[in-house]
Amino acid sequence: MSKFNASNFKNTNSKIKSSICLSVILGFAGALLAPAQAQTDSLPIADVHIHYSHDSVELTPPERVIEIMREANLKFALVSSSDDNGTQLLSELAPDLIVPGLRPYRRRGETGTWFKDPEALEYVELLLANNQYASIGEFHLYGSDAELPIPKRIVELAEEFNLILHAHSDADAVERLLAQSDSVKVIWAHSGFDAPEEISALLSKHDRLWADLAFRGEVGSGGLSDAWRKLFEDHPTRMMLGTDTYTPERMYFIPDHAAGARTWLETLPEELAENVSWRNGYNLIMPIWEANKKSVTTNTQQAVKTVETCEVENNDNAVLLEGERYKVLLKTDAALEVSKPGKINAIVCGDVSTISEFKLDASMPAHGHGTNYTPTVSITNQTDNTINYAVDGVVLHMPGNWQWDVEILDSEGSEALEQAFMIK
Amino acid sequence: MIRKTKVSIKGCTFSLLKTTKIIYLPLFSNAYMFLALTFLALLSLSLVPQALAQSEVEFTEQEIDAITAQGPWPGAIPHDPGNELSGLSWAETLGEALFHDSTLSADESVSCATCHQSDKAFNDNRAVGIGLDQGARNTQGLLDVGLQRWFGWDGGADSLWAASIRPMLNKHEMGDDINSVANALRANSAFISAVSTNAKTVYFDGKPGDTVNDLSDEQLVVVAGKSIAAFIRTLRSQPTDFDRFRIALLENDAEAQSAYSDSAKRGLKIFVGDANCRMCHFGANFSNGEFHDTGRPFFTGVGEVDPGRYTGLQRVREDRFNLLGQYAVDSSSTDKLKTSEVKLGQLNWGQWRTPSLRNLAHTAPYMHDGSLATLRDVVDAYADIDTDRLHSQGESILKPLNLTDDQRNDLVRFLLSLSAK
C-alpha cells in the first residue's frame, strides 16, 4: 500500500536537516535562529486508541496485528477490546508493545447500554480481579449519564485500581467524571469531536484531562490549520494520537494513520511533534502501567507463598483458586491447547475431611457458554490437608478468555471458586 | 393534521383540498352535499369507458419535489473531460471495435467485453470480475456510466478515458503493459487507418495532426483509451416505469400514474422518505457520485483488505493519465479541480462510490464485492444495518429502518422499476 506523498516527504526532510545544520553552525551556544522542525519519517507513535474486538480476532491473527503495529513503528499501543480476549491475546504476544485497557463491553454493540447494565459492571470487576490494566475504556458516555450508579462505580474502580478513564464523551460528561474524583485522570477520546478552541478550553480548565485525536481526519488534512497548531502549542503535553480500529478492517489502517500523522507532525517544532506523537502518551500512561504491572508481581509472590504454606507445589502451568474454606491448585504437565483434550491435576487444600465431591468445569463468560464435555474426576492421593484429583477430558474448544469453575461439596454445603484464564 | 386529498380520473386530477387540515363536518351540511354531488359527477364520468383511476398511495408536495429531483431521464451525457475524441463518431466506432478486441490483453484471451457483456447491461453477473484471473470487486455495468464524476468502485480514475486504459494494464483484468498494447494497436490496421484518417482531431503533444506512425507507445494507448471511452459514453439505458410515473406525476396524468403499481409507489415513498435512500442515491442517475462507508466488510482474504476510496484516491493521484497530466486535452480548470483538490483522509478508508440504481434488474449480484445476491438482500442489509460497523461520527443517516416484510418487498419493487424492460 502506498504511503502519503513519500517522495515529497524526503525532500522536505532533507531541507529541514540542512536548515538545522546551518542553524547549529551559526549559533553554537544553543542560539538557534528558529526552533528545529521535526524529522518525522521514523518518528515513533504512541497509538492510544486501538481496539481488537471479537470480530477482529476472528479475521486477523494476533501475530499479524503485532506485525502491523511494528510496521507502523508504534512505541506502544493502548488496546481495549470488546470482549477483553483480544487485548489479552496481544498483551501476551508483545508485552513490550501492548498496554492493556479494560473496555466494559463484552460485545461491540454495548456502547449505548453498558452504563445501565449491572452485568457490564460485573464483567469489569471480574476482569479487574484477574488481570492488570492501565485504563478503563474506551467507553461511550454522554451528559448526565456520567452520574448514573454504574459510571460512578467505574470512577471508584479507576481510583482503586490506579486506572485512567478513556471516555468517548461530550465535554459535559467529561467534567462530571472528573468531578467525581480528586485524582482520576481522563483521556478524552476523539477530543470529543469538538473544535480546537473548545478542546483547549476544557484542557485549560482541568489539569487531569488529556485528549486523543482518533478518527479526527480533519487534523492535518490539507495542512495543519492555525487553530490546531495553537492547540498543540498551548497544551504541549496533553494531546495524543490514536487510530481507532473500530472495525476489523481498520486494523490495517494503523500504518497509514501513523504515516499520515507524521506528515503534519513534521510541520511542528521537533519537541512538540515528539510530544504529540508519543511522549505525552508515554508520560501519562507508562508510569501507571508500570506501577500496575508491579502490583501483579507482588500478588503472584503472595499467592506462591500461600500455596507453599499449604504444601502444594507451584509451576508455570499452575493456577491457584482461593475460597473461604479451600484453596485449589490446578496444574497441568503442559500448557493446554485449544480443542485438544487435556488432563488437569487438581489439589484441594484445607480441611478436606468432609469433602464428598469435587467438580471442575470451564466456561467463557463473554460468550455465555462452557465446554462441550464433562470431564472425569478421580482421587489420586489424599492427606489430612489435601486431596489430589485427576481431571481428565477437559476440552477448551475456542481460544480466548475462559474461567475455571470449581465446586466442592462437603458437610457444610458447597463452596464455589472461579478463576479467569486465557488460552490461545 | 395535514393530508393531501386527490380525486383522479383519466386525463385530469382535481385537487379538492390541495394541502389542508382535515375538517370534520356536521351531517347533511352543504359541504357534504357538495361532496356528494361531486362524487356522483365523477362516477358518471367513469361510466364512459374511462376507469376511475385512484391509488391508495398519495404523495405530499415534499415527496413530489423529491421525486421530481430524480429525473429527467435520459438527460444529456457530459463531455468526457480531457478527451478530445469524446462525441466524435469515428472514435465511437473505433472504440466499439477496441472494446471487443482481445489482442489488447496479455494473452489475447480477454477484452473489455469479457466482463462488460452487452446482453447483461454490460455487466457479467458474477460476484467479482474474472479477467485473466479473479479480481476482488464486482464488475459494474456500463450503461450511463458517462454520468459519473469518478470511475470504478474506488474512484481510481477521474475520467472515463483513464478508466478505460486501466483494465488493459491491470494484472487481474487484461494484464498487458504499455509496450504490448501499443504493438497490438500498431498491428491493428483498422485502428491505424481510423486514427490516420482523423489525425487532425487527435491531439498529440498538445497539437493536432501528427501521423500515427510518430506516436509513442503511451500516446497510442491513450488514443485507444479515449476511443473506448468515446464508445462507452454512448451506452445509455432507456426510460423506465419510474421515469414514466415521474412524468405522469408532474403532469397530473392520473391514468399514466395508475400504470405504476401501488407497491412501487409505496417503495418510492420509503425511498424518498424515512429510509433516506435518496440522500446518496440522488438525481436522475440515482447516485450522488461520491463515496460513503455503509458498513460493508472489505476483507479480501486473510490479512488482506481492500479499503476502497482510500486506495482509489492514492491511485488517481499517482495516475499519469489523470486530468492533471499531459494527456488531458482541453480539460477545464473545473474538471481539474476535483483531482487537484480532493482530500485524502482516514474517512476514505472503506468508502465506496455510490452506485447508480438504474438497471439493477440486470446487474446482480450487488455491492462492491458482489456479496449480496439479490435486491432483497440489499434492502435487508440496509434495513437491518449493523451499527457496530459504523463509527459514531460516521454516516448518521445509516440506522436500522424497522421495515416490515411488505415494506421491504415494496422497496424492491420500486428498485426494479428503475430498470428498463
pLDDT tens-place values along chain A, 424 residues long: 333 333 332 333 333 333 333 333 333 333 333 445 655 568 999 999 999 999 999 999 999 999 999 999 999 999 999 999 999 999 999 999 999 999 999 987 899 999 999 999 999 999 999 999 999 999 999 999 999 999 999 999 999 999 999 999 999 999 999 999 999 999 999 999 999 999 999 999 999 999 999 999 889 877 899 999 999 999 999 999 999 999 999 999 999 999 999 999 999 999 999 999 999 999 999 999 999 987 754 444 444 333 334 554 556 677 888 888 898 988 887 778 766 678 888 889 888 989 999 999 888 777 666 676 677 788 888 888 889 898 887 877 766 778 899 999 999 999 999 988 877 6
Name the residue in chain A with its Cα closest to that of B297.
A249
Distance CA A144, CA A336 (A): 46
More confident residue, B319 or A342: B319
Best CA proximity match to B81, nearest among B171, B137, B148, B5: B148
Mean pLDDT, rounded, for B151-178: 97
Chain B residues near residue A221 by CB distance under 8 angstroms: 343, 345
What count of CB pairs under 8 Å joins A to B? 60
Residue B20 has pLDDT above 50, yes or no: no
Residue A1 contacts B where some CB pair is shorter than 8 Å: yes
Smallest Cβ distance to B346: which of A60, A107, A257?
Answer: A257
Residue B89 grid cell: 463518431
A64, A111, A250: residue with CB nearest B349: A250
Q: What angle do CA A153, A158, A161 make, to 5 degrees?
A: 115
Which range has highest mean pLDDT (A123-127, B47-51, B334-338)? A123-127
**How far is the C-alpha of B211 from the C-alpha of B204, rounded, in Å?**
9
Residue B217 lies in a domain: yes
Co-location of B252 and B217 in the same domain: no
Q: What is the pLDDT of residue B373?
A: 98
Residue B317 located in a structural domain:
no
Identify the bridge partners of residue A140 per DSSP, sorted by sequence position: A168
pLDDT at site B206: 63
Residue contact B303–A140, C-beta within 8 A: no
Q: Domain check: are B33 and B123 in the same one? A: no
Rounded CA gap, B358 and B143, in Å?
A: 9
Chain B CB contacts of A247 under 8 Å are 295, 350, 389
Domain count, chain B: 3
A contacts of B345 (beta carbons < 8 Å): 217-218, 221, 260
Reply yes or no on whether the pLDDT at B141 is more than 90: yes
CA distance between the termini of chain B = 40
pLDDT at position B11 over 90: no
Mutate to test the interface with A, among B347, B392, B399 (most CBs of A within 10 A): B392
- Pairwise pLDDT comparison (B44 vs A190), residue with the higher score: A190
- For residue A424, the number of C-alpha atoms closer than 13 Å in the C-beta half-sphere is 12
Q: Which of B298, B310, B393 sits opposite A193 (nearest CB)?
A: B393
Q: Which three cell numbers stand for residue B141?
A: 455495468
CA geometry: angle A189, A192, A196, nearest 5 deg: 115
Q: Is residue B37 domain-shared with residue B177, that is, in the same domain?
A: no
Contacts of B344 in chain A (CB under 8 A): 4
Which of A61, A249, A257 has the CB atom closest to B298's CB atom?
A: A249
**Is residue B199 one of the residues assigned to a domain?**
yes
ω before A83 within 30° of 0 (cis)? Answer: yes
A95 CB-contact burial (10 Å; exposed 0-12 / middle 13-18 / buried 19+): exposed
Q: Which residues in chain B have their CB less than 8 angstroms from residue A244's CB?
A: 391
Based on the domain organization, do B105 and B224 belong to the same domain?
yes
Q: Count CA atoms closer than 13 A to B136's CA, side-chain side.
A: 14
What are the distances in angstroms from CA A61 to CA A54, A68, A96, A254, B217? 11, 11, 18, 15, 45
Query: Which positions in chain A touch B392 (Cβ < 8 Å)?
Result: 111, 140, 168
Residue of A nearest to B386 (CA): A109
Q: How far is B348 from chain A (nearest CA, A)?
A: 9
- Compute the nearest-CA separation of B107 from chain A (Å): 27
Task: Write down the residue that cell numbers 487532425 correspond to.
Answer: B200
* Residue B392 forms part of a structural domain: yes
Looking at residue A189, its amino acid is A
Higher pLDDT, B40 or B22: B40
Contact residues on chain B for A218, CB-CB shorter than 8 A: 345
- In chain A, positions 31-90, which contact chain B (CB-CB < 8 Å)? 59-61, 64
**How far is residue B272's CA from residue B67's CA, in Å, rounded to a whole number?**
7
Task: Check which CATH number belongs to the domain holding B98 and give it.
Answer: 1.10.760.10
Decide if A109 and B387 are in contact by the 8 Å CB cutoff.
yes
User: Which residue among A107, A246, A248 places its CB closest to the CB of B391?
Assistant: A246
For residue A13, what is its C-alpha cell?
526532510
Cβ-Cβ contacts under 8 Å, B343 against chain A: 221-222
pLDDT of B387 > 90? The answer is no
Report pLDDT for A310. Answer: 53
Residue in B302, B344, B389 closest to A247 by CB? B389
Please check whether residues B418 and B269 belong to one and the same domain. yes
Confidence of residue B25 (pLDDT cuts 50, 70, 90): very low
State the smallest CA–CA distance between residue B305 and chain A in angstroms: 6
Residues B96 and B211 in one domain: yes
pLDDT of residue B33: 46
Q: Dump the DSSP string for A240-298.
A: EB-----SGGGGGGHHHHHHHHHHHHTTSBHHHHHIIIIIHHHHHHHHHHHHHHHHHHH
Asked if residue A202 lies in contact with residue A174, where contact means CB atoms within 8 angstroms, the answer is: yes
Contact A215 B303 (CB under 8 A): no
**In angstroms, rounded to a whole number, what is the distance separating the alpha carbons of residues B110 and A75?**
48
pLDDT of residue A424: 66
End residue of a domain, out of B209, B232, B255: B232
> Cβ of A72: how many Cβ atoms within 10 Å?
20
**Shortest distance, CA A215 to any CA of chain B (angstroms):** 7
User: What is the reported pLDDT for B301?
Assistant: 84
Note whether A140 contacts B345, CB cutoff 8 Å.
no
Q: Under an 8 A CB cutoff, do A218 and B345 touch? A: yes
Q: Determine which of A228, A249, A250, A254 to mutate to test the interface with B (most B C-beta atoms within 10 Å).
A: A249
Look at B393 and A222 and tell me if their CB atoms are within 8 Å: no
In a domain, B306, yes or no: no
CB–CB of A253 and B347 under 8 A?
Answer: no
* Whether residue B127 sits in one domain with residue B190: yes
Judgement on whether residues B225 and B366 belong to the same structural domain of the protein: no
Query: A109 and B388 in contact by Cβ < 8 A?
Result: yes
Best A114, A228, A247 residue to mutate vs chain B (most B CBs within 10 Å): A247
CB-based contact (8 Å) between B300 and chain A?
Answer: no
B202: Cβ–Cβ under 8 A, 6 or more apart, which residues?
A: B84, B85, B195, B208, B223
User: Chain A partners of B310 at a C-beta cutoff of 8 Å?
Assistant: 253, 256
Q: With an 8 Å Cβ cutoff, is B340 touching chain A?
A: no
Q: Please report residues of A whose CB lies closer than 8 A to that of B314.
A: 1-2
- pLDDT for B247 equals 97
Residues of B within 8 A of A140 (CB-CB) are 392
Distance CA A278, CA B368 (A): 37
**Assigned domain for B290 exists:** yes
* Residue at B342 is within a domain: no
- What is the mean predicted confidence (pLDDT) over B386-398? 79
Q: How far is A4 from chain B (nearest CA, A)?
A: 8
Q: Residue range B92-110: average pLDDT?
A: 98
**Interchain pair B350, A190: CB under 8 A:** no
Instruction: Tell me the pairing of strands A164-169 and A186-188.
Output: parallel
Chain B closest CA to A108's CA: distance in Å? 6
- For residues B207 and B156, membership in a common domain is answered with yes
User: Measured between alpha carbons, how far is A263 from B79 in angstroms, rounded to an integer?
Assistant: 37
Residues of A in contact with B302 (CB under 8 A): 59-61
Please say if the pLDDT value at position B76 is more than 80: yes
Instruction: Round the CA-based radius of gyration of chain B to a whole number and report it.
Output: 26
Instruction: Report how far Cα B45 is from the mean position of its chain's Cα atoms.
Output: 43
Query: Which chain B residues are Cβ-neighbours of A107 within 8 angstroms?
Result: 388
pLDDT of residue A378: 87
Residue B261: what pLDDT? 97
Highest-pLDDT range among B52-66, B208-222, B245-259? B245-259
Residues of B in contact with A222 (CB under 8 A): 343
Q: Which positions in chain B touch A260 (Cβ < 8 Å)?
A: 345-346
Find chain B residues with C-beta within 8 A of A168's C-beta: 392
Same domain for B405 and B259, yes or no, is yes
Could you tell me if B120 and B63 lie in one domain?
no
What pLDDT score was predicted for residue A165? 98
Nine-digit cell at B418?
A: 428503475
pLDDT of residue A37: 60
| pLDDT tens digits along B257-302 | 999 999 999 999 999 999 999 999 999 999 999 999 999 999 998 8
Residues β-bridged to residue B353? B291
How many angstroms from the chain centroid is the CA of residue B408? 22
**Domain end point (choices B178, B210, B232):** B232
Domain containing residue B95: 89-232
- From chain A residues 364-393, the ones with a CB under 8 A of any chain B CB are none
Taking all residues of chain B, what is their mean pLDDT, rounded to a whole number? 87
Same domain flag for B155 and B37: no
Instruction: Give the gap in angstroms from C-alpha A222 to the nearest C-alpha of chain B.
Output: 7
Q: Which residue has the higher pLDDT, B76 or A298?
A: B76
Task: Specify if B337 maps to a domain.
Answer: no
| Closest chain A residue by Cα to residue B301 | A59
Pairing outcome for strands A186-188 and A400-410:
unpaired
Distance, CA of B77 to CA of B259 (rounded, Å) = 28
ipTM: 0.75
